[in-house]
Each structure stands twice: as C-alpha cells, then as structure tokens.
Amino acid sequence: MTTLDVSAVRTRFTGQVVAPGDDGYDGARALFYGGHDPRPAVVIRPADPAEVASVVRLAQETGLELSVRCGGHSPVGHSVVDGGIVLDLAHLRAIAVDVEERTVWAQAGLTAGDVTKALAEHGLAVGFGDTGTVGIGGITTGGGVGFLSRKYGMTIDNVLAAEVVTADGEILQVDDTHHPDLFWAIRGGGGNFGVVTRFKYQLHEVPGVVGGMILLPATPEVIHGFLREAAAAPEELSVIVNVMPAPPMPFIPAEHHGSMVVMGLVCYAGPAEEGEKVLAPIRALAEPIADFVRPITYAEMFMEEGDDEYHPTATARTMYADELDLGRVTQIVEQLRTAPAPIRVAQFRPLGGAVDRVAADATAYAHRGRAFMVNIASFLDGPDTRAEREQWVLDTSAVAENGVPGAYVNFLTEDGATRAREAYPGATWDRLTRVKQQYDPGNLFRRNVNIPPAG
C-alpha cells in the first residue's frame, strides 16, 4: 500500500475530491445510519464513467481499500471506508426517459425518489423500495422490494441493461447478450462485481395509485388479518406492514403515542374504484386510528424529505416466512410488547405476484416463491444496549422465521459476513463466485456482503 498524495489526486479529476480538512469532509463521510465514524483518506465524486474507471485504477495502484457509495443507506456502513478511497457516485445524475419505448437510462448517483419524480411527469414508474432517499445503486444491485413488487416485480426484474466499470477499469455495456453472466450477477449480487454507472429500466404506466398509510390497533387478529388479506389480494396491491409503538407524530392522535400500532403502507397500482374495493376488508379489520389511504400519484408514496440530521443506530435481522398463522403472530406481538427498546419493529412484506413469475435462477436473487419477507429491528440507545437488543432481535426472529433459512442481502446488517450463504444459496453462490473470479479475481470490491472469487 502507498500513501495517498491527495494534491496529485486533485489534478487527476475534474469531479470533486474531498479530503480530511476540506470543507464538506464530514458531510461526505456521513451515512444514513449512525454508529459509524470512518475517516476516509479521500472521497472522490467522479464527473463521468471514465473518471469512475480512474478511481478504480487509483485504488488498484495504491492498494487502498475502496468503497462505492450511491445513496449512503448501507446498514453496515459499507459505502464509506476508514483510511481508504470512497467512490461517491453523487455527481452522476443524468436521466434519459424514452416515453415511447417506456424505458429510462438513469445514472447511478440518483436516488429512488429522484427517478420516481422524473418519471411521474410522464405517468410512468419503476418500483424501488419504500424510501425515496435510498440510492438506486444499492437497492438495484441488491434486488429492490417495494410498492410495485407484486404487480411489476422487483427492481432487478425491470433492469434491461447496465453500464459497469470493472475492477481493471474497463467500461462494459452489459445486458442479456453482452457479458450475460455479469448482467446476471449485478441483479441481486450487490456491489461485488464492479461499479454500475447507469441502469436501463423497463417502465410501466402508473397514472395513479390508491396508497398511503393506515394505522390500526396492533392486536394479533388485526395483524394476522392484514397479512391474510394482503397476501390473497390481487397483485396490484403491495403492502408493508410495520408493527411498532406509535411515534409521537402530529398526524397520530396523542392518546396512541407509544402504544403498539400496525402502520400499514399500502399501494394499489390500478383503478381507484377497484383499489377501494380491494382495501375494504383491510379497513374493516378494526376502526382505523388514522387512515391516509387515498387516490394519489405514485410519486406521492415518496413524499418524505431526507433529514441530514437523522442518523438512527439499530440492529436488525432479515428473514423469510412461509406462514404467519395467528399463534405465531400472537407470540411476535408479545415479544414486541415486552421488548427492552423503546423503538422496535416487526416488518412484514407479503410477496408473490410478479416476484414469483421470475425463475429463481434468472437473477442472483434466489428467494422466489417465499410468502413473506420479514425484518425484525430494534433501535439502540447507546453502545451498551447493543448486546441486549441483539438478543431480543434473535429471540423474536426465532418466532417469526420459518421455511428454508434465507436472507435478503439489502437488509443484512453486521450478520452479513456470516449469512452471505443464506442470501445466496446453493447454485446461486457457486455461479456468483465464478463470475467474481472472472471480473474481480483480486476482490477489489470487497466492502459489501462479500462473495469471494471461486478457487
């Protein structure tokens, strides 16, 4: 490893170079999640794909560890590296919509919210997750499960092509016929294979949705009923069911603050009249505490503004469940009720629909055919609470998880190093290691849920 000569680096890039002591250094190394305090040797924001390739070569030349950053929402802080080089894609923000072809090329410095907003002008959409500030780079390379998943599949199911800078600094155009193995691997295999500088997505006409948040009392019967109705509903409906203490927000009646509620995020991507009918059995489960579900544009599902000062620390576990019967749900509610942390959440995402119409080996996301994705999370109140909160997460997960053990790579936390084989089971793992051997034999891209080169 050589010491980095930052002034020489500055002459090499027209994009932005931020080093310790520069204005903006602290902002450039901050992540969405707190609890990380890495001090990179340099943060480089390349101006174009050729400069991305230069950063990759710089990392090879210096031997400094490289991290790739898009939206900065990595739960484990993978996108910023202590003492190393941060390749921050923030300046790659070009977007080109082809309305007739219903496709978009979007550069990888954009967020889910940026792309959704730009497409909304044309009544078009591609599904990402539930949060607009998440970067398209991280969510797309890991999979992408959100408000349009049951209708139009995961984000990766809508990727038609991509531009990738490989470990040796080559810029490749990849799709089903050009570098098909690499194209397969970047759809679910995370950041292991190169830096994606732009994605081409298939778009869908989504003129409006019936969507928003509904708050219901968190009895086991209501939660079980919500999941049952959502799983049986037409695939136009995708929901995310969060069970958690009601936060003290102005739109929630004060008498409910702190009590357990179901915070359901719903999105019906079809005619409003049909949506109201499909949602009726969910609304009938109990008198809603609050009901903000109404006909809106799809972009309004992402109305939240990013808050640069909000950096929660949390521990969480991702898993799948094939059944969530009333007995199991009752035990989960009891776990939530008696949890040590003031803020804890059990999140359930009914899957199916278009997610399952893609073969398990068609992309590097192998968990097709699972009924529910589940995430159990507990916030921390200082490092001393970590062990206790992790134990609670494990205990609660043991109740929720059933069927073949599995993990969604984008929700893996510190357990990512030990659970990579659950994210990438069997033949998927073997193929990923072979693609890694071909495109990154030296494991330059290792700040991720790492897939080692075969052999």
Q: Which residue's CB is nearer to ligand FAD, number 137 or number 225? A: 137
345 makes contact with ligand FAD (CB under 6 A): no
For every residue of 70-96, DSSP letters joined together read SS---TT-TTS-TTSEEEEGGG---EE
Q: Residues 256, 262, 265, CA angle at the centre, nearest 5°?
A: 120
352 makes contact with ligand FAD (CB under 6 A): no
**Within positions 193 to 232, which residues make up the interface with ligand FAD, using CB under 6 A?**
195-196
Q: CA 291, CA 371: separation in Å to the nearest integer?
A: 26
For every residue of 3-50, DSSP letters joined together read ---HHHHHHH-SSEEE-TTSTTHHHHH--SSSS-----SEEEE-SSHH
Q: Which residue's CB is nearer to ligand FAD, number 104 or number 145? A: 145
62 makes contact with ligand FAD (CB under 6 A): no
Binds ligand FAD (CB under 6 A): choice among 62, 79, 396, 397: 79
Closest residue to bound ligand FAD by CB: 138
DSSP state of 452: P
Q: Cβ of residue 434: shortest distance to ligand FAD, in angstroms?
A: 19
190 makes contact with ligand FAD (CB under 6 A): yes
Tell me which residue of 137, 368, 435, 320 sits closest to 451, measured CA to CA.
Answer: 435
Residue in the structure block whose two tokens are 């999640």: 33
Residues that bind ligand FAD (rule: CB under 6 A) add up to a total of 35
How many CB atoms lie under 10 A from the CB of residue 255?
Answer: 9
**Within positions 6 to 35, which residues make up the interface with ligand FAD, using CB under 6 A?**
32
Q: CA 114, CA 416: separation in Å to the nearest integer?
A: 28
Alpha helices, H only, 317-425: 326-337, 386-400, 416-423
208 Cα distance to chain centroid: 23
**Within positions 31 to 60, which residues make up the interface with ligand FAD, using CB under 6 A?**
32
Q: Which residue's CB is nearer to ligand FAD, number 138 or number 225? A: 138
Binds ligand FAD (CB under 6 A): choice among 54, 62, 74, 396: 74
244 makes contact with ligand FAD (CB under 6 A): no
Q: Which residue's CB is nearer to ligand FAD, number 304 or number 361? A: 304
106 makes contact with ligand FAD (CB under 6 A): no
Overall size of the chain counted in residues: 455
Binding mask 128-167 for ligand FAD (x = CB under 6 A): -xxx--xx-xxx-xxxxxx---------------------
Residues that bind ligand FAD (CB under 6 A): 32, 67-75, 78-79, 89, 108, 129-131, 134-135, 137-139, 141-146, 190-191, 195-196, 410, 447-448
